[in-house]
């Protein structure tokens, strides 16, 4: 039977895919409106583009799970009322930014180190400094994106809550148990 | 046929196949929700809906990835926002965003019904039928836009 247990994995899966696909669609839409979409896509190879998409999807799934864990740990009814999910989406967005930055940084490091060989070790302190500063910036930017997603979540909760209230016809609304 | 066209064909095939699964699944789930045959089996209808949602989100990811890839493979055929083609693309992408928000609300609604001790089964089936019906209609509209973009309608 499809009960709350069956919904736990689906919640993280649907939220992560929603965030990934809506972010990508909004990015394409913005580039299209600015007239820079052909130039941007021209720089991407099909296989590299797919790999980047999948990597972003996985990173978002992990970050979403972190956000859901945080909500449960702090006993926040993240889906109980509009707006209560915003702190968790900010944290999830921040981690998502760090994951994406880490993937980009590793790609750059690998491209730099491969032709250099052992001599690349001399650049380790520079990379470490860059990694710290870059991670902080990425967390902040991701957190801002997470805040926007928190507002979207609030809108979604408003819609589903209204529908659920009509369906439950006066039955007291339960607080969902979130994924552990 | 060279590698470029083989790749493009594969990308478009997967994109269209994903759209077919999304539309067919939404229509089937909506029809099952509306059917009197399952009137006494709320859990069964909900189970079908949850199964569809798992497939929906997988296929949505696949569809968006192949959609962006398809745009990239169009090359010179990718026109700007000030053309009718560009306006049609703008409408299609906006409709996709609306669909995604509606779909997240659908999952949240399912989660609430699953966690509830008691719901009105008749109203739940009406709500599910409406949600999946609107989803199917939105998807058919997006498909219309996509086919128009691919075949020079705009």
Cross-chain CB nearest to B115 (options A4, A15, A50): A4
Q: Structural domain tally of chain A?
A: 1
The pLDDT score that the predictor gives to residue A5 is 59
What is the residue-wise DSSP string for B12-55? HHHHHHHHHHHHHHHHHHHHHHH-GGGTT-HHHHHHHHHHHHHH
User: Region A29-48: what's the mean pLDDT?
Assistant: 92
Q: Which residues of chain B neighbour A11 with C-beta distances below 8 Å? A: 107, 111
**Residues of chain B neighbouring A68 (CB-CB closer than 8 A):** none
Of A124, A53, A14, A177, residue with least CA distance to B116? A177
Distance in Å, alpha carbon of A173 to nearest chain B alpha carbon: 7
Q: What is the pLDDT of residue A180?
A: 41
Pick from B147, B65, B50, B59: which is nearest to A46 by CA?
B65
pLDDT at position A86, please? 85
Could you give the ipTM of this predicted complex? 0.94
pLDDT digits (tens, 9 = 90+) for A99-120: 999 999 988 888 888 777 777 7
A177: left (phi over 0), alpha (psi -120 to 50) or beta: beta
Q: With respect to residue A17, please indicate whether it lies within any of the assigned structural domains.
A: yes
Question: Is residue A83 within 8 angstroms of chain B, CB to CB?
Answer: no
Q: Does residue A71 belong to any structural domain of this protein?
A: yes
Instruction: Test A6 with B50 for CB contact under 8 angstroms.
Output: yes
Does a structural domain hold residue A44? Answer: yes
Taking an 8 Å cut-off on Cβ atoms, the answer to whether A6 and B80 are in contact is no
Q: Is residue A178 part of a domain?
A: no
C-alpha separations of A89 from A18, A65, A142, B2, B45 in Å? 13, 10, 10, 45, 31
Q: What is the mean pLDDT of residues A9-31?
A: 95
- Taking the CA of residue A178 and the nearest CA in chain B, the distance in Å comes to 10
Q: Would you place residue A176 in the very low, low, confident or very high pLDDT band (cuts 50, 70, 90)?
A: low
How many Å apart are CA A105 and CA A110, to the nearest integer? 8
Per-residue model confidence (pLDDT) at position A2: 39
pLDDT by residue for chain B (154 residues), tens only, comes to 688 889 999 999 999 999 999 999 999 999 999 988 777 777 888 999 999 999 999 999 999 999 999 999 988 788 999 999 999 999 999 999 999 999 999 999 999 998 887 888 889 999 999 999 999 999 999 999 999 999 887 8
What domain range is A68 assigned to? 4-168
Q: Going by C-beta distance under 8 Å and a sequence separation of 6 or more, which residues neighbour residue A28?
A: A37, B68, B71, B93
């Amino acid at each position: 039977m499809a009960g709350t247990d069956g919904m736990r994995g689906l919640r993280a899966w649907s939220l992560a895919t929603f965030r990934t696909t809506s972010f990508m669609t909004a990015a394409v839409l913005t580039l299209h409106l600015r007239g820079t979409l052909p130039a941007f896509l021209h720089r991407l190879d099909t296989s590299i583009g797919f790999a980047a998409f999948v990597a972003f999807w996985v990173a978002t799934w992990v970050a979403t799970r972190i956000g859901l864990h945080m909500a449960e740990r702090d006993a926040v009814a993240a889906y109980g009322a509009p707006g209560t999910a915003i702190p968790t989406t900010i944290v999830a967005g921040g981690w998502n930014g760090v994951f994406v930055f880490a993937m980009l940084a590793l790609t750059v490091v690998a491209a730099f180190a491969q032709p250099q060989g052992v001599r690349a070790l001399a650049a380790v302190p520079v990379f470490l400094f860059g990694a710290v500063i870059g991670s902080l910036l990425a967390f902040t930017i991701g957190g801002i994106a997470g805040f926007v997603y928190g507002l979207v979540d609030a809108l979604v909760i408003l819609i589903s809550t209204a529908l659920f209230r009509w369906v439950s016809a006066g039955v007291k609304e339960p607080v969902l148990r979130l994924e552990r | 046929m060279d590698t470029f066209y083989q790749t493009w064909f594969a990308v478009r095939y997967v994109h269209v196949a994903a759209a077919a699964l999304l539309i067919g699944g939404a229509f089937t789930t909506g029809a099952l929700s509306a059917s009197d045959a399952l009137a006494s089996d709320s859990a069964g209808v909900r189970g079908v809906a949850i199964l569809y949602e798992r497939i929906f989100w997988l296929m949505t990811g696949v569809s968006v990835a192949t959609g962006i890839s398809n745009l990239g493979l169009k090359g010179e055929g990718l026109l700007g926002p000030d053309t009718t083609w560009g306006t049609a693309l703008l409408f299609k992408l906006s409709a996709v965003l609306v669909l995604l928000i509606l779909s997240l609300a659908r999952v949240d609604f399912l989660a609430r019904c699953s966690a509830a001790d008691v719901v009105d089964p008749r109203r739940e089936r009406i709500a599910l039928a409406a949600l999946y019906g609107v989803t199917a209609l939105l998807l058919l509209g997006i498909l219309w836009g996509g086919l128009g973009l691919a075949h020079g309608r705009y």
